[in-house]
Structure 1
Amino acid sequence: MGKTARTARTARNATTARLAPPAWLTAGLRPQPTPVPWAAVLRAAVALAAPLAVGMATGHTAYGALVSMGALSGVIGDTADAYRMRVFNIAVPQLFGALGVTLGTLVYGEGWAAVAALTLVALVSGMISSIGAVASVSGLLLLLNAVVGAGLPLPEPWWKAPLLLVLGGVVVLVLTLLGWPFRGGQPERAAVAGTYRAIAELLEAAGSEAYDEKRQAVTASLNQSYDLVLARRARQHGRAPTLVRLLSQLNAVIPILEAAPAAHFAARRFHRPLAPAIPAAVRALADAVEAATPRKHAPPLDLPEARRPTEKAVDAAVRHAATVVHQAESRPHNVDDRLGRPAALRVRVRRAARGVLLSGASWRYGLRLALCIGLAQALVSLIAVPRSYWVALTVTFVMKPDFGSVFSRAVLRALGTAGGLLIAAPVLAAVPRGWWDVPVMMVLAALIPAFSAKGYAFQTAAITPVILLLSDLLNRQGFHLVLPRLYDSLIGCGIALVAGYLLWPESWHTRVADRLADAVADTASYVHLAFVEVDRGDTAARHRARRKLYRDMSAVRSEFQRALTEPPPAGDLAAAWWPLAIAVERIVDATTAARIRVDHGAPAPDPAEVAAVERQLRELADGLRSSDVLEEVRADLGGDEDGALEPLRQEVRAARAIATPGARE
């Protein structure tokens, strides 16, 4: 009887597994385990509700609704941590949004001229989105507000609507900057301290299976810290001693980060884990960084005696970091910002212009977005669709390449809109018009930052009732807005799926193999740099090359995460190549570990060993680019099995084994 029950239960589980939706489709429906940003929640509630209250009090409810719309854009775009970056992230997109609504207002009611104008705006919006994060949000607002201006009768004269929308952004900006006098520099300090803590966790994980995951967390934390601290160039750092000190403290973690792979391979190969006192000392440094209390002399460190090359490397790195963290000089040393410094403004502008005008990817995405917007506008011009501008708005939100897979975003957009309508329907049906809209807006607006951190579908569900309430204030249609919103969203998602996804084979074929090939080739160059060029005296070049490699691999990992949400075959192919991406990161770690061991007393490898490893990596990169099958996994790369390069050779063998067809089947 028991066996029969187990068999029946197994059959039911198998049937359930077959009927369950695939993982790539449901991945976006799982909420991310992120804390609620209470400051952002309060800021959103005030920024969107206060303009409504002022508008009602002055008898200009429509004006208040437009200011709240501008505030909504500012709330969505306020994603930075450092205050000076938040100014840039909020202000610049608002200017593009003002330009967009002006262009839209000028072609309102112009029929096919409006279709042509919005298609051209979509082309420009799509092309500039490839420049960077701020440009992407700016391009988004440019197109969104152009669609709104072309689809809604906004207040006259033409300059009034853009002025009101920008005023909403100013409200968010003012509320954001209220904390600057009290918390100036705190986000940067918290980020640098977080990097120290992430490295402490990495050291604790040395020799364990958790090491790869902790290393990825360190890479993400280090990228964020450099982005915050180096948001301005070095000539500005010279006028800001706090940033100089933070940069010095951040650079001081690099030797610890370079020693960590050596500790990991030593713990895995020789079963010599690090003493718990070492991660504890790094955590103490993190607390000192966050407290911003430098001392005249660094407190003594209670670290175990270092005897072996790896132990000496870790000990020297931690002691150096302690000296830098606790030093009291106003101008500390070690402020080289070339590990993450942004280029000069004129250089970035030149690169951006070249990337937009000469990049095939930029043109292809711009054309895809223009095609979808053109079809959406043409459709609503030929067929009477209530609230027709919502169709193009949906297309705009879905067709964002840097926000994830177009396919999954279309599905999540439809589901999120349906969820948002379930919230909006009782609000529009039961809440009386008038002053009750203000407290309701406070509650709905507070949900936006709280839900946005959970995922795209949750963000859509939070934004939808806010948009509907603002639309009702402008149109007074109440509950009758609900079904048109659902229809228009489904039409927009359908256009994006067909014209923006299925008609473009590159959108459903992943390029992860090409990205991996570039990473492998860069890794080969790093091996050469670590053991050949480093002897010529430019150690900083090796540091910069390693930082660039890890940053590039972080971008590759993000590309993998996007590709994994694509339907087959793209998602399946990305899953098959994922182990090789991990293997490449391990090769970089093994190279760094070998260099550190040599720097602290281990015998240097023979140049022939280095050349053999470099040759194997370049063969692997060439095979990935040409899609040729690697002839074999060479078991013998030569060299001393007890030498510094042996862990590196093992990782290269593993990578080549993964790259063979049999390992991916």
Structure 2
Amino acid sequence: MTTQRRTEHIRSGHSRARQIPLTPPAWLLNGLRPSSAPVPWAAVVRAGIALSVPLAVGFALDEPEYGALVSMGALSGVIGDTADAYRMRVLNIAVPQLFGAAGVAVGTLVFGHGWLAVGVLTLVALVSGMISSIGSVASVSGLLLLLNAVVGAGLPMPRPWWTAPLLLTAGGLFVLVLSLAGWPLRGRQPERVAVAAGYRALADTLEAAGGPDYEERRREVTQALNQAYDLVLGRRALVHGRSPSLVRMLAQLNVLIPLVEGAPAAHLRGRPLPPEIPAAVRELAAAVEDGRTGTPVLDLPPPHGQSERAIDAALRHAATIVHLAEPRMHNVDDRLGRPAALGIRARRAVRDMMFSRASWRYGIRLAVCIGLAQVLVSVVPIERSYWVALTVTFVLKPDFGSVFSRAVLRALGTAVGLVLAAAVLAEVPRGWWDVPVMAVLAALIPAFSAKGYAFQTAAITPVILLLSDLLNHQGFDLIRPRLLDSLIGCAITLVAGYLLWPESWHTRIGDRLADTVDDAARYVQRAFGTDHPDTEAGLRAARTARLQARRRIYRDLSGVRTEFQRALTEPPPTGARAAAWWPLVVAVERIVDATTAARVRVNHGADAPHRDEVEAAVRELHGLAEGVRASRTPAAVRGGGPAPAGREDSVLAPVHQEIAAARAIAAPAD
């Protein structure tokens, strides 16, 4: 494929027909389009039970307010119940509950204290924002810390002060107990399922090799491997070498890497692989999931060419390891990504939080918005005023997506949720009828959360209003204040948390993309480095370094793609700028794929590229990165010298072609 055709092919993946006049903007349509993620039926059942049972117990004991508080705690647990592995569920649910209990305790102590409450909630917002920058569990913990502090400061809670924290924590722990109910029977099943999913995603990729669906399948492999490694290595960080089952699963993951590396080489051939190859990989996936051992039986056709030989050798080795009952420790290389000890990671996280400019920026933004919200409701009488700060907290979560689009989507989702809540509050009498209604409404939360933020908001709104009604007995009168407060909160977030911060709409996506191009250059250098170890230990170290670099660059590419997809949901100029750079993201992915394929060919008999050819490709990529870093739009990228040259029969020829295509995208002809 010529450079021009290759460039046009990359651009065509982004090109779209012009919008019909009066149609909603693309960034809004993207947010309203439901995700294709499957409905988590087990979580649906747990949510219905977790929020309705406490209400039933509260009515049975003639303490409906206590039951409502326990259900509120369960709601927090349901929202955080997103992990697959059981040990991760303990972290995802239990740790945030501790922060939530601390938050409601602080809020309860400052309830009714006017400006003291304003100052305390502003300080809590700063801490919450800084905590949220550490990681996913910390993000949920910071969210619950602030949310519960706002609720405690805005609603009268039972006395003494520790009653509300205790009841909310009880609700979260109830969700945790329900989530861990299957642990004794299928304790390691989530990890095995994740490893098997990696094999199945690879089978789909090999089946798509040489066809138009390959790139999408390759991205799915990256996501599946990231998920599997995170689960297995996260569990292994706690038990290390004392668990043979985890050693076996990590060995099964590691032997998948050579097969993953062979996929780009097979794709660049331009023709499909024999169907027996993806079928054999799917059979290995079933063996991993079922825990089968024994002697593997493979019926593979004779390989033809370097790419097929690479896949054949990797597949036979993987089959041997998958079916071993007790893999030896030399098959397990933790250097591919084993995390540090928990204490070390905690110290690093605290250090990074305290000395990170991004952490302070987000903490200050959140504190400013919460402070403004609390000052406003202290000066202007607003019914149910704590909803304003709650809305700010939910919307101003940049790690959850675009702030601007979240504000708009939350307003729309709240409006839809209020319609449902109005029907419930108007037609359902307060009392035992609330229990089955809550079971149905709560079950909708995980089902709708899987479809998108607006859908999640629409599902959560009637649940919160029903619980608030049990605490305040305002019934249908809650509807209008809820909508007004949500709109005020969205407005504060858009102005003080978005428009007044230039970094929000002068996004640094170009810098992130430039860093990734530099990483691609280092990957090329690592894959074809000039050092040639002459010892077996040196060869193993070099191979491990290449595998680390390969896994790192593919994980980074996945993160860049996610960041750009979030930026595409922003209104102009951010969304337009992300759309302009998007074809170059695809081009960099192709460069990395071509490099991996070239390394596989060299490993199986092809001539290694000359040092000058490698250095020319590396220089060109670094030059492209500098051009991207210095430009606001692709058309502004200029120069960089002539495209890297190489022999047509060189293994790096596809890499040169992809670099030339990337240059054409970044600096189109006038």
**Fold match, TM over 0.5?**
yes
Relative to structure 1, the CA distance from residue 235 to residue 418 in structure 2 (aligned partners, 3 Å threshold; closer, same or farther) is: closer
Other structure's SS at 2:334 match: coil
Other structure's SS at 2:580 match: helix
* Aligned equivalents of 1:475, 1:662: Cα separation in 2: 66
Equivalence for 2:217: 214
Please list every run of 5 or more consecutive structure 2 residues that lacks an aligned counterpart in the other structure. Answer: 1-16, 534-538
Please list every run of 5 or more consecutive structure 1 residues that lacks an aligned counterpart in the other structure. Answer: 1-13
What pairs with 1:196-211 in structure 2 (closer than 5 Å)? Answer: 196-211=199-214
Deviates more, 1:15-24 or 1:548-557: 15-24
Amino acid at match of 1:212: E
* Aligned equivalents of 1:39, 1:150: Cα separation in 2: 34
In 2, are the aligned partners of 1:298 and 1:327 still within 8 Å (CA)? no
In 2, are the aligned partners of 1:633 and 1:653 still within 8 Å (CA)? no
* Aligned equivalents of 1:467, 1:662: Cα separation in 2: 56
Equivalence for 2:337: 340
Provide TM-score, normalisation by structure 1: 0.95
Shift of 1:626: 2.2
Equivalence for 1:308: 305
Shift of 1:287: 1.0
Equivalence for 1:247: 250
Shift of 1:639: 2.0
Deviations 1:481-512 (A, max 9, x none): 11110110011011111111111111112211
Equivalence for 2:89: 86
Shift of 1:627: 2.2
Which of 43, 54, 58 does residue 55 from structure 1 map onto? 58
* Aligned equivalents of 2:650, 2:370: Cα separation in 1: 61
Other structure's SS at 1:232 match: helix
Amino acid at match of 2:198: T
Amino acid at match of 2:544: A
Other structure's SS at 1:19 match: coil
Amino acid at match of 2:210: G
Which of 84, 87, 101 does residue 98 from structure 1 map onto? 101
Equivalence for 1:653: 660
* Aligned equivalents of 1:37, 1:214: Cα separation in 2: 22
- The aligned length equals 644
Matched, 1:167 2:170: yes
* Aligned equivalents of 2:623, 2:92: Cα separation in 1: 43
In 2, are the aligned partners of 1:324 and 1:332 still within 8 Å (CA)? no
Deviations 1:540-580 (A, max 9, x none): 00000110111111111110011000000100110111111
In 2, are the aligned partners of 1:233 and 1:344 still within 8 Å (CA)? no
Equivalence for 2:565: 561
In 2, are the aligned partners of 1:252 and 1:324 still within 8 Å (CA)? yes
Deviates more, 1:342-351 or 1:644-653: 342-351
Which of 350, 353, 357 does residue 353 from structure 1 map onto? 350
Deviations 1:362-401 (A, max 9, x none): 1111111111100100000001111100000000000001
* Aligned equivalents of 1:630, 1:379: Cα separation in 2: 47
In 2, are the aligned partners of 1:252 and 1:321 still within 8 Å (CA)? yes
Equivalence for 1:151: 154
In 2, are the aligned partners of 1:635 and 1:653 still within 8 Å (CA)? no
Relative to structure 1, the CA distance from residue 650 to residue 49 in structure 2 (aligned partners, 3 Å threshold; closer, same or farther) is: same
Amino acid at match of 2:369: C
RMSD (Å) for aligned C-alpha atoms:
1.6
Amino acid at match of 2:512: R
What pairs with 1:221-236 in structure 2 (closer than 5 Å)? Answer: 221-234=224-237, 236=239
Shift of 1:151: 0.5
Deviations 1:612-665 (A, max 9, x none): 0011011111112222944447565222111111011111111111111559xx
Equivalence for 1:517: 514
Deviations 1:590-628 (A, max 9, x none): 111111101100011111100100110111111122229
Relative to structure 1, the CA distance from residue 158 to residue 570 in structure 2 (aligned partners, 3 Å threshold; closer, same or farther) is: same
Amino acid at match of 2:296: A
Amino acid at match of 2:412: L
Equivalence for 1:438: 435
Equivalence for 2:581: 577
Shift of 1:277: 1.0
* Aligned equivalents of 2:562, 2:166: Cα separation in 1: 37
Equivalence for 2:550: 546
Matched, 1:641 2:643: no
Relative to structure 1, the CA distance from residue 83 to residue 411 in structure 2 (aligned partners, 3 Å threshold; closer, same or farther) is: same
Amino acid at match of 2:599: R
Matched, 1:617 2:616: no
Equivalence for 2:14: none
In 2, are the aligned partners of 1:524 and 1:618 still within 8 Å (CA)? yes
* Aligned equivalents of 2:415, 2:238: Cα separation in 1: 51
Deviations 1:248-298 (A, max 9, x none): 11111100001111111122xxxx431111111111111111111111x22
* Aligned equivalents of 1:498, 1:479: Cα separation in 2: 31
Shift of 1:331: 4.3
Equivalence for 2:458: 461
Deviations 1:150-203 (A, max 9, x none): 111101111111011000011001111111112211111111111111111111
* Aligned equivalents of 2:238, 2:190: Cα separation in 1: 21
In 2, are the aligned partners of 1:234 and 1:337 still within 8 Å (CA)? no
Equivalence for 1:298: 296
* Aligned equivalents of 2:437, 2:153: Cα separation in 1: 28
Matched, 1:277 2:276: yes
Deviates more, 1:131-140 or 1:652-661: 652-661
Deviations 1:312-337 (A, max 9, x none): 11111111111111112264642112
Shift of 1:441: 0.8
Amino acid at match of 2:283: A
In 2, are the aligned partners of 1:232 and 1:342 still within 8 Å (CA)? no
Shift of 1:307: 3.6
Relative to structure 1, the CA distance from residue 378 to residue 53 in structure 2 (aligned partners, 3 Å threshold; closer, same or farther) is: same
Equivalence for 1:401: 398
Amino acid at match of 2:273: L
* Aligned equivalents of 2:278, 2:125: Cα separation in 1: 51
Other structure's SS at 2:331 match: coil
* Aligned equivalents of 1:553, 1:631: Cα separation in 2: 24
Relative to structure 1, the CA distance from residue 535 to residue 65 in structure 2 (aligned partners, 3 Å threshold; closer, same or farther) is: same
Deviates more, 1:621-630 or 1:381-390: 621-630
